[in-house]
Structure 1
Amino acid sequence: MEYDPKKAIKILDSLQLHSSIISSEQAALLFFKKGEVYYVNDFYLESIIEHKKAYNLFVEQKDEYNKTRSLITLSAANLRFENFEKAQEYALEALHTAESLGDERMLGKANNQLFQLHFILEDYSKALQYIQKAEEIFAYEKDTVSKIAIKSNEAAIYLKQKKYNKALKIYQESLKLGQNIKAPQTIVKILNNIGFIYIETKEYPSAIQFLEGAIQLNKNINAINAAPYKGLGYVYFLNKDVNKSIVNYKQSLTIYKQNKNIPEQIQVLDKLITLAIQDKNSEEALNYQIERDQLQVELQAIEKEKLLGFATVKYQVKEKEIELLYQQQTNQRNKWLFGSLLITLSLLLILLGAYLYITKLKAANRASKLEQNLLRVQMNPHFIFNTLAAIQNITLEEDYIKSSNYIAKFSKLIRQNFDYVRKEEITLEEEINMILNYIETQQLRFDDSFQYILNLGENCDTKSLKVPPMLLQPFVENAIEYGLKGKKMEGILELNIFKEKNQLCFEIKDNGVGRSNYSKQHRKSKALHATDVFMERLKLRKKAEEKTFQIEDLYNSEKQPIGTKITFKIKIT
């Protein structure tokens, strides 16, 4: 029977609707199960949200076993987002808890998770230590699939270190284990890797044998994989068997086209051009070269788009000015030809054209200025300098993983700002990833003096919902800078996102000092206000969304300020 993840989520949601009649233990397991379903279907953000809820309940219930299970998935999901410090934090806690429980299986999984972290960071010696610990733990386990996965991970390190004999020995051990279980996809990966090793060691007949085995097994399970075809193409290329090399490279090219993998297509086309020349087929070589050049242009265009940024907008405005000048010159020549009766009409047309152009130019300049203002309020120098200073302090403390994590996080934040600023819409998942990245960067600045909570509505499909980019950051920044920064006790920043019919609702709430207290202690700045830019952006959408924007000062029963709440809604289709 085919597994339907959406149906599984609906069933779990329906169970949660009856939360009043289920126990706290059952609720925790429901959150855990949802988190696992989201993770295996690549919804990593949703998985993190659900597992955090499960983790908190497991802590309250002192359920150390299930807490450890949640920690391992939390570590894996954060690693997907390149949040290395969080991934390490969760994995180390899982390791410590598994040790105290004496649970060998959980201990092995925690070590494997720490291997994944250090492997990505290219710290291969540390990665090898963790995966060998995992291998020792699973030595007496009956879980053959896990044994194979661990051995393959260990072999991957030796491949990176070019220790081919060691890697080959371990892959052969994995292959022997795999013959006793039904895990064809795992076997395919092993066959591919063995074939690659034999190519590196110039044992081409053996390489062909294993790569062809991988292809045959893929056919048996109806799987599509370009890697073994590309490997075979390379082997035959080295052996100067032009015809077989071309056949296999063409097959891999077809698959890479289906996957839209441009870099791999370019690599394969490079080889096909050389082979066509060797085969004295100049026409085919030319066709491959044209196709390769088109892909290269496409790839370069993607990179150039990031570099051009605002320069593109300025160029477009200048282009319109040149077009108008040309039109004015043409009209000036024509008025002498059409006589005195048409002079008045020509002048009216020129004036009308000038008016329309000026109107368009103002709109273009307005949009360009809005983009620049948006980027300015998003990445102000004060924030950048303070963040760099915080990263410098961590580096001086020799906490390399933490500093590496925050350098990656900060560079990713800058890249996100430049990538998204000129887009009309991005997915809700991209918006949430960017704002969480921003909040965690701010936590670094303020030494974790505040915490954040993200509540995402059950009916919010973050991958399909589209929103204008960088909606939340101005208000999150205000909450931190003007509310939580001046708070003596621990601050809390809460983000709530949910759907109401055809509207997506946003709520940003903090328990800071409040606007009235802040205004008494600080003079008002004459600098560009982020709220003005936000309102201008909503007005340009012409959906009356700016009317939903509200700022509410929060007070306790004694009418003392206890924070601020921002709400607004945008229309979705």
Structure 2
Amino acid sequence: MLLGMNRLYSLTYSVITFVVLVMFLSCKNDVEIRTSIENELAKIDSASYVDPQYTIFRIDSLITNTSNINDAEMAMAWFYKGEDYYLNDQFFDAIQVHKKTYDLFNKLGDPYNKGRCLITLSAAHIHLKDYEIAQEYALEALHIAQLIQNHRIEAKAYNQLFHLHFLLKDYKKALTYIHKSDSLFKDSKDTTSIIAIKSNIASAHLQLKSYNKALKNYSEALTLSQHSNDTPTLVRLLNNIGYAYIEAQDYDSAEKFLRGAITVNKNINAINAAPFKGLGNLFLIRNQTDSAKINYQKALKIFDLKKNHKEIIAVSDKLISISIMLGDYHEALEEQMRRDSIQKLVNNIEKDQLLSFANVKYEVKEQESQLIHQREINETNRLLFSSAIISLILLLIALGFFFYNLKLRSAHKASELEQRLLRAQMNPHFIFNTLAAIQNITLEGNSIRSSNHIAKFSKLIRQNFDYVRKEKISLDKEMAMITNYIQTQQLRFNEKFDYQIKVDANIQKSAILVPPMLLQPFVENAIEYGLKHKQGKGVLKVFISKDNKHLIFTVEDNGVGRSIVARQLKVSEGLHATDIFKERLKRRGKGEEKTFKIEDLYSPEGAPMGTRVTFKLQVL
């Protein structure tokens, strides 16, 4: 949908830009900025990178204390205020201010500063992960820049499109955009921008595993940084080169550059966790767990100091793994509890940010409506456009809203199905009973066994939360998750049943992608309604075979079979999961739901002896 909307947006911008140019030609605004105001704004702009929060206060004072401030002066003051909000990581406020500024520059007929506003709006929305709107602003900025032939804004627009596609993991497309930006700066003396572009090119090549190209561009950026005496940038590049060498498996060179970054940081009294994290990764790859642990702990201390919750969680995961590798399960459990508390905090912060952004968007809508109303009253002479152009604009807007609403409905349906799937997979009975079983093991004094089961159970929960948001995962990940789930159920039922998992040898599990968590509902049914009530040892079998075009999944148990009571239980409790399963297959649009089949198994004497579930997935 994102790429499908590009042509619509491009056409819309072309028409709207034509209309705007007609407006500019018919009614030029001669408002100018006074020299005293211009000088004060220049001073504020030069100080913004040092103390952006204080410069916001200076701008507010300027607006309040300046008599008879005109629209051009107000627009520039708001522009610098929006830039300072962005530099201060206040992205919601930056968006609100720059939308006002955009409208004022539009009124003043200033396409250059309109383009600058759009660049910051795009960047702020990228930070908020609102990628579709970010792309819309970047494309509009690109169109304006090409129209007025401003290469600097054009390069910045390409840079925003690079960041957008890089975050979407479309690295080839990202590389195309950053090369366009690089071509616009070939003869430029703006060393800072060239270094940033070289670093971005290197990052894209690194993701594409073109290590030589990545290192070449990092080296060029490093040389420019050394000549410009930009020490913070030099440190960042040393660190990036160290990470690149890790990816290229040249560990000696990686260690050299990472330690170089640490040394430079010490020389300038800077606190930077990235080199320590890189050394932790390096030593972990080398199986030097003690050294890895020391460096991860140094990185964690700095991330704690800077309240970088995302990195705290990432490093904590590494330390948990190291503790388990070293057999220190008590420390692993303590680190897991700490990590989970940080994750809960992050979730709450993200929730508050979403609520805040919703309120900001509502306020912006109200203010936009007021500005539109005011313009209609004061600028009726600008509404003398042909009915054909107006009809075309309205038609394009209607089409835009139609496709946008269509996407929203699809996303809402997918989100609803995701939530239903997660509720069905992680039911409270399973969680509480498993925790009770682990508690019993702990009370028996078997700490190693309890720690192992805690680790498995924690991994199962993380897998459920991670995979439910994905459209497809590899078959080997699906099998690893279902194995973990069955072993957890064995713990819960005190080894009441054995299990067999068999995948045909001609199936490449890592290469085949399937929807996540397909087997778990039927494995759960087999255990809950078949094996749980069986006298003696039960057996659960999971078979996966392959014909020409399909994977064939079979879940079979030798339990008590579907008695009348069991059927009633399945109608009330298991049907929901089955319906979700069929709905997921229907959404694939391959008719796979028609292959789903449940069979009752009987002995030669006619006695119930289990249940078999089969279905097929198309893989070619």
Percent of pairs with identical residues: 42
C-alpha contact (below 8 Å) 2:324/2:332 kept by paired residues? no
**8 A Cα contact 2:296 2:315, kept in partner:** no
**1:136 aligned to which of 174, 178, 183:** 183
Kept in 1: contact 2:300–2:316 (CA 8 A):
no
1:149 CA drift (Å) = 0.6
Q: Is the 8 A contact 2:53 2:84 kept in 1?
A: no
Structure 2 equivalent of residue 361 of structure 1:
none
Match of 1:162 in 2: 209
1:207 deviates by 0.8
The whole-number CA distance in structure 1 between the counterparts of 2:330 and 2:197 is 45
1:434-513 matches, within 5 Å, as: 434-435=358-359, 452-453=366-367
Is 1:75 aligned to 2:122, yes or no?
yes
CA contact 1:118–1:126 (8 Å) conserved in 2: yes
1:289 and 1:177, CA in 2 relative to 1: closer, same or farther beyond 3 A?
same
Aligned position for 1:90: 137
User: Would the alpha carbon gap of residues 60 and 302 (structure 1) be closer, same or farther in structure 2, given more than 3 Å must change?
Assistant: closer
SS at match of 2:228: coil
2:318 counterpart of 1:268:
yes
In the alignment, is the contact (CA less than 8 A) between 2:277 and 2:315 conserved in 1? no
Residue 253 of structure 1 and its aligned partner are, at CA, apart by 3.3
- In structure 2, relative to structure 1, the CA distance for the partners of 1:455 and 1:184 (3 Å cut) is farther
**Kept after mapping to 1: 8 A contact 2:276/2:296:** yes
CA distance, structure 2, for counterparts of residue 200 and residue 218 of structure 1: 23
Equivalent residues in 2 for 1:127-276, closer than 5 Å: 127-239=174-286, 241=288, 244-258=291-305, 259=307, 260=309, 261-270=311-320, 272-273=322-323
8 Å contact kept, 2:320–2:336 = no
Contact in 2 for aligned 1:272/1:288 (Cα 8 Å):
no
Superposed displacement of residue 20, structure 1? 4.8
The CA deviation at 1:141 is 0.6
Distance in 2 of aligned mates of 1:169 and 1:117 = 24
Code of the aligned partner of 2:164: L
RMSD over aligned Cα, in angstroms? 3.2
- 1:398-423, Cα deviation, whole Å (9 max, x unpaired): xxxxxxxxxxxxxxxxx98xx6xxxx
User: How far off is 1:83 after superposition?
Assistant: 2.3
1:294 maps to a residue whose letter is M
Residue 115 of structure 1 is aligned with which of 150, 162, 166?
162
Gaps of 5+ in 1: 307-414, 420-425, 441-450, 457-489, 491-573
Query: How far is the alpha carbon of 1:231 from its aligned partner?
Result: 2.0
Q: CA deviation at 1:18?
A: 4.6
Opposite residue 316 of structure 2, the aligned amino acid is I
Note if contact 2:198-2:221 (Cα within 8 Å) is conserved in structure 1.
Answer: yes
Q: Does structure 2 conserve the Cα–Cα contact (< 8 Å) formed by 1:262 and 1:295?
A: no
2:227 aligns to what SS in structure 1?
A: coil
How many angstroms apart in 1 are the aligned matches of 2:334 and 2:188? 52
8 Å CA contact retained: 1:108, 1:135: yes
Distance, in Å, in 2 between the alignment partners of 1:224 and 1:99 is 41
Q: How far apart in 2 are the matches of 1:287 and 1:55? A: 56
CA distance in 1, matches of 2:209, 2:89: 32
Shift of 1:297: 5.0
Secondary structure at 2:123's aligned position in 1? helix
Is 2:92–2:360's contact at 8 Å kept on the other side of the alignment?
A: no
Cα deviation digits, residues 333-362 of structure 1 (max 9, x gap): xxxxxxxxxxxxxxxxxxxxxxxxxxxxxx
Question: How many Å apart are 1:34 and its aligned residue?
Answer: 0.9
What is the one-letter code of the residue matched to 2:331? Y
From the superposition, tell whether residues 26 and 185 of structure 1 become closer, same or farther in structure 2 (CA, over 3 Å).
same
**Do the aligned partners of residues 201 and 4 (structure 1) sit closer, same or farther apart at CA in structure 2, a change above 3 Å counting?**
closer
Compared with structure 1, are the counterparts of its residues 121 and 289 closer, same or farther at alpha carbon in structure 2 (3 Å cutoff)? closer
Paired AA for residue 357 in structure 2: N
Structure-2 separation of matches of 1:7 and 1:254: 29
The question of 1:433 aligning with 2:357 is answered yes
Superposition pairs of residues 275-354 of structure 1, within 5 angstroms? 277=326, 285-286=328-329, 288-295=331-338, 298=341
The answer to whether the Cα contact below 8 Å between 2:119 and 2:138 also exists between their aligned partners in 1 is: yes
Residue 22 of structure 1 aligns to a residue in which SS?
Answer: coil
**Distance in 2, Cα, partners of 1:269 & 1:23:** 58
Determine the C-alpha separation between the residues in 2 that align with 1:109 and 1:92: 11
User: Could you list the per-position Cα deviations for residues 99-144 of structure 1 after superposition, in whole angstroms to 9, with x for gaps in the alignment?
Assistant: 1222221111111111112222222222111110000001111011
Match of 2:99 among 47, 52, 58: 52
Corresponding position of 2:171: 124
Deviation at 1:145, TM superposition (A): 0.9
Q: 1:493 is matched with which residue? A: none
SS of residue in 2 equivalent to 1:141: coil
Per-residue CA deviations over 1:140-180 (Å, capped at 9, x if unaligned) read 11011111111111111112222222211111111111111
In structure 1, how many angstroms separate the alpha carbons of the residues matched to 2:316 and 2:173? 35
Q: Distance in 2 between matches of 1:34 and 1:104?
A: 24
Match for 1:127: what amino acid?
A
In structure 2, relative to structure 1, the CA distance for the partners of 1:241 and 1:137 (3 Å cut) is: same
Is residue 253–residue 268 contact of structure 1 (8 Å, CA) maintained in 2?
A: no
CA shift at 1:301, angstroms?
6.3
Q: Match of 1:444? A: none
Aligned-pair CA distance for 1:239: 3.9
Give distance in 2, aligned partners of 1:187 and 1:61: 41
1:93 is aligned with what amino acid?
Answer: E
Tell me which amino acid in the other structure corresponds to 2:341.
E
Gaps of 5+ in 2: 1-46, 371-393, 395-620
Shift of 1:287: 5.2
Q: Check whether the contact 1:72–1:94 (CA below 8 A) recurs between aligned residues.
A: yes
Do residues 66 (structure 1) and 113 (structure 2) align? yes
User: Counterparts of 1:28 and 1:293 in 2: how far apart (Å)?
Assistant: 50
Q: State the SS of the aligned residue for 2:367.
A: strand
More moved, 57-66 vs 28-37: 57-66
Moved more, 24-33 or 228-237: 228-237
Aligned residues: 321
Counterpart AA for 2:275: P
Tell me, yes or no, if the aligned pair for 1:230 and 1:268 is still in contact at 8 Å: no
When residues 294 and 434 of structure 1 are mapped into structure 2, their CA distance, relative to the original with a 3 A threshold, is same
How many Å separate the matches in 2 of 1:12 and 1:111?
30
In structure 1, distance between residues paired with 2:59 and 2:81: 7
Q: CA deviation at 1:54?
A: 1.8
Q: CA offsets per residue over residues 33-69 of structure 1, 9 Å max, x none? A: 1111111111112212222222222122212222211
Tell me how far apart the structure 1 counterparts of residues 344 and 176 of structure 2 sit (CA, whole Å): 43
Paired residue type of 2:150: D
